[in-house]
Chain A
Amino acid sequence: MLAEILHTLPQVLIDGLALGAIYAIVALGYTMVYGILELINFAHGEIFMTGAFIGTAILITLTGLGWIAVMPALLALLLVLVITSVLTGFIGMGIERIAYRPLRKAPKLITLITAIGVSFLLQDLVRFITEVKRGNYILTGPSMFTDRVEVKTSSVLSVFNDASFKESFIIVFVVAAIMMITLDFFINKTKWGTAMRAVAQDRDTSALMGVNVNKVIGLVFFLGSALGGATGVLFAIQYGTIDPYIGFILGLKAFTAAVLGGIGNIRGAMFGGILLGVLEMFASANLTLMTNGVFGAEYKDVFAFAILILVLLFKPEGIFGKVVMEKV
């Protein structure tokens, strides 16, 4: 059995990294907002979905105008990523301004329910617009970066099978890595990043330092939503077909990844996302084999979430969550 698991391991890792990178960036949005407001922003999965639709819509429009044919594909992608992330960034900021800020002093549960409401609103809005424009709410964008690349992993270790991936995998992974590294740098090394961490730790005292707390919270929503929207574009390119409900389950999993890594912890969210993606792909490839056919690949989520429960049983604060000793 071990040999068979090893056969597929290179492919599992490649697919797991692509999915995990997507989980990781969406997880960042959850963890940043949670870190600063202690709010589980359920609408964040929908921001991701909205990004996927906006990106696909732009791509379809550009194709219709005949621009895609003349433009280098990478340039088109960059353009779509930038426009989409700016738009979703502002949508996220707007949601905070309209739906969450008035409830800042209300019990957390009220805001949570509002977030679920916003989530439904975005789903239906996107569904409505897409149906009006296309007659169907399931959308398939123009295919890009679909050439397959073979990786001769069998020559590395004879027990491995060869693996392959679509070119889009590289795009997903590189863009995701750039976004994560940039965000990490921004949060840890810049003045506004430090202000974000300060507001997360002590809002009142941050204000006494001259920090406009509302501006910082707006910034957090902008960044999280911009990254989430861009990830939606990556998802659409990697997996082709999208519908208004992709944000729900993916958002749930990304939130899980954030908890797995330690909610509120940026690097934890990145790690948790990658881990969850790889676990899921591993289960998808090997569950049938490991359970003698009792559980099929469709139980991959059960497997991934069982791992989550195990981790949290032994480390409730998550893998990177730290219980900081604070002296008074």
Chain B
Amino acid sequence: MHILELRDIHAFYGGIQALKGVNLYVDKGEIVTLIGSNGAGKSTTLKTISGQVKPKQGNIFLNGKDITSALPHETAVSGVAQVPEGRRIFPRLTVKENLEMGAFSVKNKKVVAERMEKVFHYFPRIKERLSQRGGTMSGGEQQMLAMGRALMSGPNVLMLDEPSMGLAPIIVEQIFSIIKELNESGMTILLVEQNAYQALQIANRGYVIQTGEILMSGQSSVLLRDDQIKEAYLA
């Protein structure tokens, strides 16, 4: 059984059909990347999974359970964490409060404290900034905070929407190596990226999406060598 599976998803976003029958799955422990150009339907796919966009047709399964009609907060509670595009840090909450919000559905305070320590392990810089307001941090720090916040819920699947967007190359390197590290410690990851080359470098498998349809899918190593992909996305 796949941990996350999309079957024939059709969805509309802003009046246009953004997804036209997307099939996709993620297995436990994998990094799967969804690559494609601007407006191809990458973000809509993630939003459909998290419940922010309701599909017109098709089903979404989490651990075999149909979550197609779940509301965003229900999907979050059932184990899907999303790092949204543009990070969406709560600007006027402190860094600590941002992390606490990530663990909103966790009742046990001890678990929250443990998870926070774990977040500090991956992102030591967050620990130095706990009382600072989220909105005053740099883009790279906000990306780290957004990832840390998502980890606070203790998710089964971590979805990242364009984590490299707008960041300096050196920061992107760091972010990607942390994604890799997270995966090595057992986290299942669905990574949406425009930065196809870097995403395929760390992913097990990849899907290429174009105008709402999956154009191609397979092992990252295979996709990296594919001439068509090389020309369209890796140039």
Interface string of A18-59 (1 = CB under 8 A from B): 000000000000000000000000000000000000000000
Q: Is B139 among interface residues, defined by CB-CB distance under 8 A?
A: yes
Given known pairs A191-B100, A207-B73, the reply for A197 and B90 (CB within 8 Å) is yes
Among residues of B, the one whose C-beta sits closest to the C-beta of A213 is B73
Q: Chain A, interface size: which category? A: 20 to 34
Q: Is A167 among interface residues, defined by CB-CB distance under 8 A?
A: no
Within 8 Å by CB of A327, from B52, B72, B138, lies B138
CB proximity of A205 to chain B, nearest CB, Å: 4
Residue pair B139, A327 in contact (C-beta under 8 Å): yes
Complex CA distance for A210 and B50, rounded to whole angstroms: 11
Residue pair A191, B52 in contact (C-beta under 8 Å): no
CB proximity of A298 to chain B, nearest CB, Å: 42
Complex CA distance for A211 and B91, rounded to whole angstroms: 17
Within 8 Å by CB of B142, from A195, A198, A204, A327, lies A327
Among residues of B, the one whose C-beta sits closest to the C-beta of A212 is B73
Q: Is A326 among interface residues, defined by CB-CB distance under 8 A?
A: yes
Binds A, one of B24-32, B80-88, B225-233: B80-88
Complex CA distance for A212 and B100, rounded to whole angstroms: 15
CB-contacts of A190-230 with B (<8 A):
191, 194-195, 197-198, 201-202, 204-213
CB-contacts of A281-328 with B (<8 A):
324-328
Chain B positions within 8 Å of A328 at CB level: 86, 139, 166
Interface string of B86-127 (1 = CB under 8 A from A): 101011110001001110110000000000000000000000
Q: Is B3 among interface residues, defined by CB-CB distance under 8 A?
A: no
Residue pair A207, B76 in contact (C-beta under 8 Å): yes
CB proximity of A101 to chain B, nearest CB, Å: 14
Residue pair B97, A208 in contact (C-beta under 8 Å): no
Residue pair B71, A201 in contact (C-beta under 8 Å): no
Residue pair A210, B137 in contact (C-beta under 8 Å): no
Q: Is B20 among interface residues, defined by CB-CB distance under 8 A?
A: no
Q: Is B42 among interface residues, defined by CB-CB distance under 8 A?
A: no
Residue pair A191, B86 in contact (C-beta under 8 Å): no
Complex CA distance for A259 and B97, rounded to whole angstroms: 27
Among residues of A, the one whose C-beta sits closest to the C-beta of B102 is A209
Among residues of B, the one whose C-beta sits closest to the C-beta of A322 is B92
CB proximity of A36 to chain B, nearest CB, Å: 13
Q: Is B180 among interface residues, defined by CB-CB distance under 8 A?
A: no
Complex CA distance for A194 and B52, rounded to whole angstroms: 22
Chain A positions within 8 Å of B137 at CB level: 327
Complex CA distance for A198 and B98, rounded to whole angstroms: 8
Residue pair A209, B139 in contact (C-beta under 8 Å): no
Chain A positions within 8 Å of B149 at CB level: 209
Interface string of A244-276 (1 = CB under 8 A from B): 000000000000000000000000000000000
Given known pairs A198-B101, A326-B135, A327-B139, the reply for A204 and B90 (CB within 8 Å) is no
Given known pairs A204-B52, A210-B153, the reply for A325 and B93 (CB within 8 Å) is no
Given known pairs A207-B76, A209-B149, A211-B73, the reply for A195 and B104 (CB within 8 Å) is yes
Within 8 Å by CB of A206, from B82, B86, B101, lies B101
Residue pair A195, B101 in contact (C-beta under 8 Å): yes
Chain B positions within 8 Å of A194 at CB level: 93, 97, 100-101
Within 8 Å by CB of A209, from B76, B86, B91, lies B76
Among residues of A, the one whose C-beta sits closest to the C-beta of B105 is A210
Complex CA distance for A326 and B133, rounded to whole angstroms: 10
Residue pair B153, A209 in contact (C-beta under 8 Å): yes
Interface string of B144-177 (1 = CB under 8 A from A): 0000010001000000000000100000000000
Chain B positions within 8 Å of A195 at CB level: 101, 104
CB proximity of B74 to chain A, nearest CB, Å: 8
CB-contacts of B175-189 with A (<8 A):
none
Complex CA distance for A213 and B101, rounded to whole angstroms: 13
Among residues of B, the one whose C-beta sits closest to the C-beta of A193 is B97
Chain A positions within 8 Å of B86 at CB level: 328
Within 8 Å by CB of A205, from B88, B133, B136, lies B88
CB proximity of A327 to chain B, nearest CB, Å: 7
Residue pair A197, B136 in contact (C-beta under 8 Å): no
CB-contacts of B29-52 with A (<8 A):
50, 52
Residue pair A207, B72 in contact (C-beta under 8 Å): yes
Residue pair A208, B105 in contact (C-beta under 8 Å): no
Complex CA distance for A205 and B98, rounded to whole angstroms: 11
Among residues of A, the one whose C-beta sits closest to the C-beta of B100 is A194
Q: Is B77 among interface residues, defined by CB-CB distance under 8 A?
A: yes
Complex CA distance for A207 and B165, rounded to whole angstroms: 23
Complex CA distance for A118 and B169, rounded to whole angstroms: 55
Complex CA distance for A195 and B97, rounded to whole angstroms: 9
Residue pair B135, A325 in contact (C-beta under 8 Å): yes
New contact pairs (17) apart from A197-B90, A209-B104, A326-B91, CB-CB < 8 Å: A191-B100, A194-B101, A197-B97, A198-B93, A198-B101, A201-B91, A205-B90, A206-B90, A207-B73, A209-B149, A209-B153, A210-B73, A210-B77, A211-B101, A325-B136, A327-B139, A327-B142
Q: What are 9 A-B pairs at a CB distance below 8 A?
A: A197-B97, A198-B93, A198-B97, A201-B91, A207-B52, A208-B76, A210-B105, A213-B73, A327-B135
